[in-house]
Structure 1
Amino acid sequence: MAGDFFEGKVAIVTGGSQGIGAATVRAIAARGAQVVINYVSSADLAEELRDEIGEKAIAVQADLSAGEANTLAEAALDKWGRIDCLVNNAGKTAFANHEDLDALSADDFLDIYRLNVVGAYEMIRAVAPSMQASGSGAIVNVTSVAAHYGIGSSVAYAASKGALLTMTYSLARALAPEIRVNAISPGYVGTGWFTNRLGEEAKLAIDRHFEETTPLRRAGTAEDIADMIIPLLDDASRHMTGQAIVVDAGSHLDVGSSRRKGKEEL
């Protein structure tokens, strides 16, 4: 059972103070694991989440885009002496119309890749020795449906998530058999990020769009994604590596139509 697997394990969740990251932290801790909650600027949210979980969690500030992956690995090892699971959730984007080739600069691409791709790679490199020493480990990279279909907030974002997906395949091969590496590709997830950026009314309008148009008639939640990350970490997926699971209420089945309607907030 998942609860038995997570007892005594140690997990790191990057971008773990809010949204999908926070939901994943709660799900892992509820199953008995110790969790490192990574954050960059949202210290209050990270500390609140740590207090909510209690002694099974620590909050650690580290900016993966600035090469601070070792800070997280060292914090886990100093506190608990092992690392069993990694969820590479931290990411960023820039909003730009895909048809406007002047909307993004080279610096925009590099800024997004620095976190979404290079930061994730350095995080894997930081935890791999501990996992290899123990003989097992599980990594989940949070990509996006943008990686599969070239949609989303910008070309740079979609390309970065595509690169993260390709890296999942490469490292699943390279790190086997001790370490399993899989990916999860969420569609729209109605987190507070959308409320903060667009306002409550606009966020609710997007929710309604997906509730009305997806085959499952649902707008995704952070918990929906966390509930799919958990089995990729535990023994339920012991025979699985180098895979990407799309979790989007079936919206990819009509992705062309959704794009024409301008719903690219993925």
Structure 2
Amino acid sequence: MTSSPDLTGRVALVTGASRGIGYFVARQMAAAGAHVIAVARTVGGLEELDDEIKAEAARTGKGEATLVPLDLTDMAGIDRLGGAINERWQKLDILVANAGVLGVIAPIGHVEAKVFDKVMAVNVTGTWRLIRSVDPLLRRSDAGRAIVLSSGSAHSARAYWAPYAASKAAVEALARSWADETRNTPLRVNIVNPGVARTAMRALAMPGEDPETLPHPSEVAAEILPLASPTLTETGLIWNVELGRFTAWQKPA
């Protein structure tokens, strides 16, 4: 699934848009014609993204961005974001819930409470609050699309990865339940396992790994983009980037 959809006139919200996979998803969605609402904590990364989108738009006439510096532990801020989108556009066409933190790679008994709480606050509670804030807006779209980033860790549950693995398993459960709730609506909700990529989070988790041996995040983003297509029919499934196909714990009825 590598063909880029036409997103002209679509409004897309991308979290974690200042670097890594989120950065390139935002860039590529803008290049496909979307107005991207780019959310991240790092203002410098957002400004760099905006420069890239403007430069591309100058060449092609496609895409623009609205920058939103926001920490996803700011729950009231997430609520305000939904209100602002409603006030300006009255709908949202695409959500890419990409933002997340790793925490630490350590034995479960050695994980500090504040680290565990931060992972859950950003990865789980922040994602839930975001869904809660934009669900009504996505339902107003003629073809709402929600793309929720997970990880193979949710299934492998490897030693020393407990907080991150648990958070991603919870995120997958949230997304699958949401997909089932909205199955009879135009909204399609799918999960992405991006696999390995040349990102800062991967470098933190695997410090001895040669990043040049890994796919560039722009390659992963290109595989994710078709999930935003208005013609997509699948919902409640996991898109495995490395396998290039949908899988699921349980097939939808």
TM-score over 0.5 (shorter chain): yes
Q: Under TM normalisation by the shorter chain, which class is it?
A: 0.7 to 0.9
Q: Any conservation in 1 of the 2:5–2:225 contact (CA below 8 Å)?
A: no
Are 1:37 and 2:38 counterparts?
Answer: yes
Q: Deviations over 1:108-147 (max 9, x none)?
A: 3222111111111111111111222334311000001111
Q: Deviations over 1:127-172 (max 9, x none)?
A: 1112223343110000011112113862100110011111111000
Give the RMSD, CA atoms, in angstroms: 2.5
- Structure 2 letter corresponding to 1:244: I
- Structure 1 letter corresponding to 2:195: G
Are 1:234 and 2:229 counterparts?
Answer: yes
- Structure 1 letter corresponding to 2:45: L
Structure 2 counterparts to residues 171-190 of structure 1, below 5 A: 171-176=178-183, 177-190=185-198
Structure 2 counterparts to residues 56-67 of structure 1, below 5 A: 56-67=64-75
Q: Which runs of 5+ in 2 are unaligned?
A: 55-62, 245-253
Q: Any conservation in 2 of the 1:36–1:72 contact (CA below 8 Å)?
A: no
Are 1:118 and 2:125 counterparts?
Answer: yes
- Structure 2 letter corresponding to 1:62: L
% of aligned pairs identical?
31
Structure 2 counterparts to residues 239-254 of structure 1, below 5 A: 239-248=233-242
Structure 2 counterparts to residues 41-60 of structure 1, below 5 A: 42-54=42-54, 56-60=64-68
Out of 195, 200, 210, the residue aligned to residue 206 of structure 1 is 210
Secondary structure of the structure 1 residue equivalent to 2:215: coil
2-structure distance, mates of 1:138, 1:7: 14
Q: Any conservation in 2 of the 1:92–1:115 contact (CA below 8 Å)?
A: yes
1:154–1:228 CA distance, 2 compared to 1 (3 A): same
Q: Any conservation in 1 of the 2:153–2:168 contact (CA below 8 Å)?
A: yes
Structure 1 residue 27: deviation in Å?
0.9
Aligned to 2:96: 87
1:19–1:153 CA distance, 2 compared to 1 (3 A): farther
Structure 1 residue 46: deviation in Å?
0.4
Secondary structure of the structure 2 residue equivalent to 1:183: strand
Aligned to 1:223: 218
Under a length normalisation based on structure 2, what TM-score does the superposition of the two structures give? 0.82
Structure 1 residue 65: deviation in Å?
1.6
2-structure distance, mates of 1:16, 1:144: 18
1:21–1:76 CA distance, 2 compared to 1 (3 A): same
2-structure distance, mates of 1:104, 1:233: 37
2-structure distance, mates of 1:168, 1:47: 30
- Structure 1 letter corresponding to 2:215: G
Aligned to 1:147: 154
Q: Of Structure 1 and Structure 2, which has the larger fraction of its residues in helix? A: 1
The number of aligned residues is 232
Secondary structure of the structure 1 residue equivalent to 2:36: strand
